[in-house]
């Protein structure tokens, strides 16, 4: 593999392009525990092998080999039909990933990406730094690819598709790299190749040496456009990619899963991609939709909602929540693929911690609520909130977990202020479902606090409340009615 690094590009002239060719994109999109299993991707129309993994290559299987010949060379061969939609979906994922480093990206489905390099060189201080950042970023995706640069879209594309693997801004060097290519390697139609061979042109450099006016006289407009765009004499129209701020990833499994515990490793792989997506954008996600795709066509895919109370970005935390949610799930058929969609993505609202608050628990309140909701269901966990109501039975209501009241009376969730509400003082932590008659000797410690309310809704109340201590040391919340009857209404912890 040859590679030449140049730091500068001429200020004038055509822009510099970089083409990335992914020859095994569907194969790289499959999930396997190890690489020891021979796997091939076969075109269903021609029954020819179009993608081969390393283990299958060691068995003597190569690109273009028929399915019958490949099966005769390897007894435990795994065969998958070529699916262009899988490659297109993965190509968009790679484009979103590279968009974090490079602005102008064009999709060439099903397995190619074109990047405009010229506009990025000032930012990265040269081509070598740009390629170092891009290749390091690509390495995290674990995909096979070839690359090439050129001063036209077609020239960079040809270098990449023919495994040139050249990064250079030296125009003469790039022209020399293209010189050995034949017309069969250019992607021209068979008709144009045959017509060119009749006049003795068999190499790409011979074609490029012809004046464009002479080509226009003897050949069709398609060949004129090809040569004109290749040599940058004609403009090559491109459509730049604009990614959406959404995470969605499909993962096809190389084996069937009947036990949901075996989903751990493939799920972790997807959640690691989600973690990178969120951390690079400084965001959190409150909900993940996990879609399980089954082998049997008559079984509808199962969508499982996994939630985090406050929002999470770490892969390991999402994996733990998934395990708790899937514990109670029963599946009707083996799982062959899964899709993860991130929902309710928002900015990272950092929680403040007191340096002098002492040792804290390993699990935060938000993590605890998320785990309980994953285990018991979202509606099984609620919080309690006080409201502006003097009658104790009506002074609290159920609310979302962790919706609390700050010292200044503002209701907050985490660090987010919700509403303004004044608090009630001297209230017990435990309120009895029904007041009980006082049947023991007590000592009054505080009170009375008179509450007269409810005349407007036919729930009239007139009581004097006291805080008292019993002979056993219990702290009680009592009230006295106008009829001088005493009742216990709450207990202080």
- Give the pLDDT confidence of 459-487 residue by residue, as tens digits: 788 899 999 999 888 899 999 998 999 99
* Count of beta carbons in the 10 Å neighbourhood of residue 211: 9
Burial zone of 92 (CB within 10 Å; 0-12 exposed, 13-18 middle, 19+ buried): middle
Contact 283/345 with Cβ under 8 angstroms? yes
pLDDT in tens, 124-165: 999 999 999 999 999 988 899 999 999 999 999 999 999 999
SS3 content of the chain, % helix, strand, coil (to 5): 30, 30, 40
pLDDT given for residue 35 in this prediction: 72
Tokens of 358: 């002492």
Report the CATH fold assignment for 248-347.
Dna Ligase; domain 1 (3.30.1490)
pLDDT given for residue 425 in this prediction: 55
Tokens of 79: 């065969």
H or E element that contains 381: none
Burial 273-288 (b: 16+ CB within 10 A, else e): bbbbbbeeeebbbbeb
Query: Which residue has 């007269």 as its token pair?
Result: 452
What's the first-to-final CA gap in the chain, in angstroms?
Answer: 74
Closest Cα partner for 346 from 430, 288, 439, 281? Answer: 281
Give Cβ neighbours of residue 16 (< 8 Å, ≥ 6 apart): 9, 116, 117, 118, 121, 127, 149, 150, 151, 169
* Count of beta carbons in the 10 Å neighbourhood of residue 378: 17
CA 393/CA 487 separation, integer angstroms:
14
CA 388/CA 395 separation, integer angstroms:
7
User: Would the CATH topology of 17-178 be identical to that of 248-347?
Assistant: no
pLDDT given for residue 1 in this prediction: 40
* Count of beta carbons in the 10 Å neighbourhood of residue 140: 11
pLDDT in tens, 31-41: 876 678 899 99
Report the CATH fold assignment for 17-178.
MutS, DNA mismatch repair protein, domain I (3.40.1170)
Cα torsion 18, 24, 25, 30 to 10°: value is: -150
Low pLDDT (below 70) residues in the chain: 1-13, 33-34, 349-365, 367, 374-375, 403-425
Burial 45-55 (b: 16+ CB within 10 A, else e): eeebbbbbbeb
CA 175/CA 471 separation, integer angstroms:
99
What are the domain boundaries of the chain?
17-178, 248-347, 382-420, 430-491
Average pLDDT, the chain: 84
Contact 241/106 with Cβ under 8 angstroms? yes
**pTM of the shown model:** 0.67
pLDDT given for residue 327 in this prediction: 84
CA 158/CA 19 separation, integer angstroms:
9
């Amino acid at each position: 593999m040859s590679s030449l690094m140049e730091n500068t590009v001429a200020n004038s002239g055509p822009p510099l392009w970089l083409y990335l060719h992914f020859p095994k994109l569907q194969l790289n999109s499959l999930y396997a525990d190890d690489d020891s299993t021979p796997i091939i991707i076969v075109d269903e129309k021609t029954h020819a092998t179009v993608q081969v993994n390393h283990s299958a290559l060691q068995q003597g299987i190569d690109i273009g080999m028929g399915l019958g010949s490949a099966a005769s060379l390897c007894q435990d061969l795994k065969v998958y039909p070529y699916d262009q939609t899988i490659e297109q979906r993965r190509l968009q994922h790679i484009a979103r990933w590279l968009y974090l480093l490079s602005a102008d990206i064009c999709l060439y489905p099903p397995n190619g990406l074109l990047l405009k390099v010229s506009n990025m060189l000032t930012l990265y201080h040269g081509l070598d730094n740009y390629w170092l950042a891009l290749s390091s970023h690509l390495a995290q995706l674990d995909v096979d690819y070839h690359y090439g640069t050129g001063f036209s879209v077609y020239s960079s594309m040809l270098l990449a598709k023919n495994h040139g693997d050249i990064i250079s801004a030296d125009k003469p060097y790039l022209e020399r790299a293209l010189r050995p290519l034949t017309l069969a390697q250019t992607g021209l139609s068979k008709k144009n190749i045959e017509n060119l061979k009749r006049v003795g042109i068999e190499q790409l450099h011979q074609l490029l040496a012809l004046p464009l006016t002479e080509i226009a006289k003897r050949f069709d407009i398609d060949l004129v456009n090809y040569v004109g765009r290749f040599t940058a004499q004609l403009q090559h129209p491109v459509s730049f990619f604009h990614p959406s701020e959404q995470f969605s990833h499909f993962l096809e499994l190389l084996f069937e899963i009947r036990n949901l515990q075996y989903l751990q490793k493939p799920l972790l792989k997807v959640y690691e991609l989600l973690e990178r997506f969120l951390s690079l954008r400084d965001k959190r996600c409150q909900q993940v939709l996990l879609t399980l795709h089954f082998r049997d066509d008559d079984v509808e895919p199962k969508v499982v909602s996994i939630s985090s109370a406050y929002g999470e970005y770490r892969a390991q935390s999402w994996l733990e929540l998934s395990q708790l949610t899937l514990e109670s799930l029963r599946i009707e058929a083996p799982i062959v693929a899964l899709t993860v969609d991130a929902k309710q993505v928002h900015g990272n609202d950092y929680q403040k911690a007191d340096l002098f608050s002492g040792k804290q628990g390993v699990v935060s309140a938000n993590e605890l609520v998320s785990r309980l909701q994953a285990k018991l269901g979202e509606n099984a966990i609620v919080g309690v909130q006080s409201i502006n109501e003097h009658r104790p039975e009506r002074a609290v209501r159920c609310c979302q977990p962790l919706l609390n009241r700050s010292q200044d009376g503002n209701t907050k969730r985490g660090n987010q202020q919700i509403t303004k509400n004044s608090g009630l003082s001297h209230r017990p932590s435990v309120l009895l479902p029904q007041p009980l008659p006082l049947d023991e000797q007590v000592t009054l410690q505080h009170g009375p606090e008179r509450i007269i309310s409810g005349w407007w809704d036919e729930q009239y109340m007139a009581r004097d409340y006291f805080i008292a201590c019993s002979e056993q040391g219990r702290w009680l919340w009592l009230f006295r009615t106008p009829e001088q009857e005493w009742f216990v209404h709450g207990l202080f912890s």
